[in-house]
Amino acid sequence: DILVAVNPFTNLGLYTGIEQRRYKGQARSDNPPHIFAVADAAYQALLHQRQNQAIIISGESGAGKTESANLLLKQLVYLSKAPNRNLEEQILQINPIMEAFGNAATGINANSSRFGKYLDLTMTKGGKVTGARIAVYLLEQSRVVAQAA
């Protein structure tokens, strides 16, 4: 499945709790295409097919890849209803921390991620999040430690 998303550079109100509930457990044909539908499809496939799932986000600088990844994670954590609420919060808070250390201004994007990220959520067979592993790769150290021209 492929979702094409465009970064509007403004809040359109498409990522609220109401929208999260709207896409939970629904057939993809029931709602318009949405990043939450992608998360739900992967989550449902994980539960019913008992196979690991992968979501790849790709695009140009400023396309909204980081925001899309954050929204996917937000929805997956919402769907999983981890028994440990503190764990959910820790997983959701790792992105702003990583962005603080790995983002820099470029000519195209004032808050550009200068690294790639691989996030592996671990879950029970029942779909509850039990942890996360994150690997960072392709870190552009020169942009992170020095001001861009």
Binding-site residues sit at 59-66
Which residues carry a binding-site annotation for ATP? 59-66
Determine whether 143 is exposed, middle or buried from the number of CB atoms within 10 Å of its CB (0-12, 13-18, 19+): middle
Q: In angstroms, what CA-CA distances link 70 with 29, 76, 85, 135, 149?
A: 24, 10, 18, 16, 28
